[in-house]
Structure 1
Amino acid sequence: MMNMAAMAGLAGFAWSRDWLRRERLSRALAVLRGEEAGPAPATMPAAETSAPGFDAAEQRRREQEAAEIARTELERRQREIRNGWELLERQQLAFVRAKEEWEEHRKRIEEEQRRREEEADDSGFRKELDILSGLKAKEAKELLRLKKDADVVRILLEMEPRKARKIVGECKKSEERLWIGRILEKLHDRNAVQAEVLAAGN
């Protein structure tokens, strides 16, 4: 009984000291069997196995490589931006030139159209002038009163002065004299000498 009590007490003491843990028991059995000569030598720190300054040199090399990559990428981006601006400038210049060429083309077309209209108008005007010049002064007066003042002024300026004076002389009624007076004022603004010549026959 005493031995069993002593054994039980010893077991409790060993348990409280963690002597009965599986790892310790396995290690103790291995020692008793001669399977473990002693603790394995601790692994030496990396700093002791590495050459002095090796990690620092490697770190610097990697930093330099990263800096070179970043610099190369930055230069590439800068080239892309510069090329993009140059392309945009070329496109803008081409657009400006195309716009200028179109404006010149449009002006030429408008000028040609205006010239043709003037030629057609002049041709029609000449025919009308010939007709009015061939009519009697009274008939020509009646036709002229149907026209705009600007057209009448132009016709009288181009008409043979003797014929124009006869037409002016046919304006005898009050409304006719008001009309021809207005025409002569406008004609005076265009050609004062011609207006005085025509007014002399009134």
Structure 2
Amino acid sequence: MENGLMHMEKTADKWGKNGRGDEWQEKWWEHYNAAGQAEKWAHKWCSIDPNTPLEAGHAHVWHERWGETYDGYGGSIKYTDKWAERRKGDGWEKWGDKWDENFDLNGHGVKQGETWWQGKHGDRWNRTWGEQHNGSGWIHKYGKSSSGEHWDTHVIQDTWYERFPHYGFYHCFENSVQLREVPKPSDILEP
């Protein structure tokens, strides 16, 4: 408890490796407080022997990062970033996808993202996109790609974003049975 406000934090770091040298790791962190603020993130990756033949679309190396922050009043920030690599002949092919969104408590904010690809000989392609939300019922949507696509439009559409975490402080508290059984320091010190 800090300044009289109860908070909880959970972390994990998992790692594994098999006899062929394939390996993976997952780290995550969560922080909640009784005022409704929450922050969560995770980083995951795996790697398999680059000499292993793969079906199309599968990767030798894979990464994923994501995170969420909630201010407790209806504002939130979310992001994700995924990318992968596959050995192809004498080089590596890479591709990925990422997006983020940032909204205040009034539903004003921005969503944006990028999808990309890089070939083993340095050839590249990407597409970026964005949305501006100002609470008027009109959303400004825009984007472009390295292959010449381009759009810039306004559409009537409801704004949707997660204002509050789907799993918050009280969910964490209720699911922490062993933690709730730990006596308070004042209960231990009283004669």
- Alignment TM-score, normalising by the size of structure 1: 0.20
- Alignment TM-score, normalising by the size of structure 2: 0.20
Higher helix share: 1
Q: Bigger radius of gyration, 1 or 2?
A: 1
Higher strand share: 2
